[in-house]
C-alpha cells in the first residue's frame, strides 16, 4: 500500500574487508554488538530470532528490536524484520524489513542496505493519505 | 517521537493539523472551528502540537498564527536514515579492523 509507506531507506557503502568477514557482523552476536546493538540474540536461519537491544533515546531506557531472519545466504545476502516492542519508536515488530546484499568489489565488499516498510514519510496531498497516516501513528501508540 | 505520537492521539489535535495544513491560520480562527471546545482547551492543544514539532507558530502583533509543520511528521524515517548512516560507518571501521587482524594472523 504505497500511500501508507515511506520510500525505502537505501544506503551503499564500500568496506575494505572480504564479504565473509562483513557477513559475520550481521549474524554473530559478538560482532553485531560491535556496531549495531548493545546486546543481541541471533539465530541466523529463516524464521530464527533476530533480537537486539539498542541504546535508545537518552532517559528512555533501551529499545528492544524484536526481529526475525527471513533470508540467510552467506556471504551474499541477509534479510530480517525490524520492529520494536517499545511503542514510542512507532515501528512495531514485523512492520519493516532490512535487506542487506553484499557483493565483492576487488578484495573488498560493497554493502547495499535497503530498509522498507517504515510509516509514511510525509503527508499525501489528499485527506485519505493524511488520515491513514495519523491512524497508523495512533495505532502505534495504543497498540490497536 | 513519543511527543509526536501523543500529540496526534487526541482527535481534536488531528483536526487542527488538517485545518492548518494548507495555510497559516490564527489561533482565533482555529478556535472558531471548535464552538463546543473552550478557548483554553484549544490553546492547550496548540501548545501540545507546537511542542511536538508538528505546528509552526508565528506571532504577528498580539495574534498567533499556526501552520502544520510537515517535517515534524517525517521523524520515524528520518530517525532510521540517520541511524543507518551512523551505524554503517561504525560497521566499516569494525569490519576493516577485523579484516586487518585476520590478515595479520594469516601472514604471521
**Global ipTM:** 0.80
Nearest to B102 among A13, A21, A127 (CB): A21
**Which residues in chain A have Cβ-Cβ distances shorter than 8 Å to B8?**
134, 137-138
Supply the pLDDT for residue A136.
59
DSSP-based three-state secondary structure for B52: coil
Same-domain pairing of B79 and B62:
no
Q: Let me know whether B65 and B78 are in one domain.
A: no
A55 to chain B, any CB pair closer than 8 A? The answer is: no
Q: B82 with B38, same domain?
A: no
List chain B residues with CB under 8 Å of A134: 8, 14, 17
pLDDT at A3: 37
Model pLDDT, residue A126: 37
- By CA distance, what is B91's nearest residue in A? A35
**Cβ B80–A17 below 8 Å, yes or no?**
no
Contacts of B16 in chain A (CB under 8 A): none
Burial A47-57 (b: 16+ CB within 10 A, else e): ebbbbbebebe
Together in a domain, B61 and B84: no
User: What CATH number does residue B42 fall under?
Assistant: 1.10.10.10
Domains of chain A, with CATH numbers?
Answer: 2-142 (3.30.530.20)
Residue pointed to by grid coordinates 561504525: B90
Question: Between chains, do A22 and B90 touch, taking CB under 8 Å as contact?
Answer: no
> Are B23 and B54 members of one domain?
yes
Domain that holds residue B91: 74-107
Residues B13 and B60 in one domain: yes
Residues B63 and B92 in one domain: no
For B14-72, write each residue's pLDDT tens digit. Answer: 889 888 876 889 999 999 999 999 999 999 999 999 888 788 899 999 999 998 876 56
The minimum CA-CA distance between A49 and chain B, rounded to whole Å, is 21
CB contact under 8 A, A15 and B17: no
Number of domains in chain B: 2
Q: Nearest CA of chain A to the CA of B61: how many Å?
A: 31
> DSSP secondary-structure letter at A47?
T
Helices (H) and strands (E) in chain B, counts: 5, 3
B5, B68, B91 ranked by CB distance to A35: nearest: B91
Number of helices followed by number of strands (H, E) in chain A = 3, 7
- Which residues make beta-bridge pairs with A66? A51
Cα-Cα end-to-end distance for chain A: 19
B58 and B83 in a single domain? The answer is no
Q: Report pLDDT digits (tens) over A31-89.
A: 999 999 999 999 999 999 999 999 875 555 688 999 999 999 999 999 999 998 876 67
In terms of DSSP H, where are the helices of chain A? 19-27, 29-32, 127-142
Clarify whether residues B41 and B25 are in a common domain. yes
| Statement to judge: residues B65 and B103 lie in one domain | no
Q: Do A9 and B84 touch (CB under 8 A)?
A: yes
Cα four-point dihedral sign B84, A69, B74, A87: negative
Residues B35 and B10 in one domain: yes
A26 three-state secondary structure = helix
The C-alpha atoms of residue A68 and residue A124 are separated, in whole angstroms, by: 31
* Residue A127 confidence (pLDDT): 41
Q: Do A21 and B98 touch (CB under 8 A)?
A: yes
**pLDDT score recorded for residue A45:** 98
Q: Do B46 and B81 share a domain, yes or no?
A: no
The pLDDT, as a whole number, for residue A123 is: 36
Which residues, listed in sequence order, are joined to residue B26 by a DSSP beta bridge?
B65
Amino acid at each position: 500500500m504505497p500511500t501508507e509507506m515511506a520510500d525505502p531507506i537505501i544506503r551503499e557503502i564500500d568496506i575494505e574487508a572480504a564479504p565473509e568477514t562483513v557477513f559475520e557482523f550481521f549474524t554473530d552476536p559478538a560482532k553485531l554488538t560491535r556496531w549495531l546493538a548493545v546486546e543481541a540474540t541471533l539465530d541466523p536461519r529463516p524464521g530464527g530470532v533476530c533480537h537486539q537491544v539498542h541504546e535508545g533515546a537518552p532517559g528512555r531506557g533501551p529499545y528492544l528490536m524484536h526481529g526475525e531472519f527471513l533470508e540467510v545466504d552467506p556471504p551474499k545476502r541477509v534479510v530480517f524484520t525490524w520492529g520494536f516492542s517499545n511503542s514510542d519508536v512507532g515501528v512495531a515488530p514485523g512492520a519493516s524489513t532490512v535487506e542487506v546484499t553484499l557483493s565483492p568489489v576487488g578484495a573488498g565488499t560493497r554493502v547495499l542496505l535497503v530498509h522498507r516498510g517504515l510509516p509514511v514519510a510525509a503527508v499525501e496531498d489528499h485527506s485519505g493519505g493524511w488520515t491513514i497516516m495519523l491512524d497508523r501513528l495512533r495505532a502505534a501508540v495504543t497498540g490497536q | 517521537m513519543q511527543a509526536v505520537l501523543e500529540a496526534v492521539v487526541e482527535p481534536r489535535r488531528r483536526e487542527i493539523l488538517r485545518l492548518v495544513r494548507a495555510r497559516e491560520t490564527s489561533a482565533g480562527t482555529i478556535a472558531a472551528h471548535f464552538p463546543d471546545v473552550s478557548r483554553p482547551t484549544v490553546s492547550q492543544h496548540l501548545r501540545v502540537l507546537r511542542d511536538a514539532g508538528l505546528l509552526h507558530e508565528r506571532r504577528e502583533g498580539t495574534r498567533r498564527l499556526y501552520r502544520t509543520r510537515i517535517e515534524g511528521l517525517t521523524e520515524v524515517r528520518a530517525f532510521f536514515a540517520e541511524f543507518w548512516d551512523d551505524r554503517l560507518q561504525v560497521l566499516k571501521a569494525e569490519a576493516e579492523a577485523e579484516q586487518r587482524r585476520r590478515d595479520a594472523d594469516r601472514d604471521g
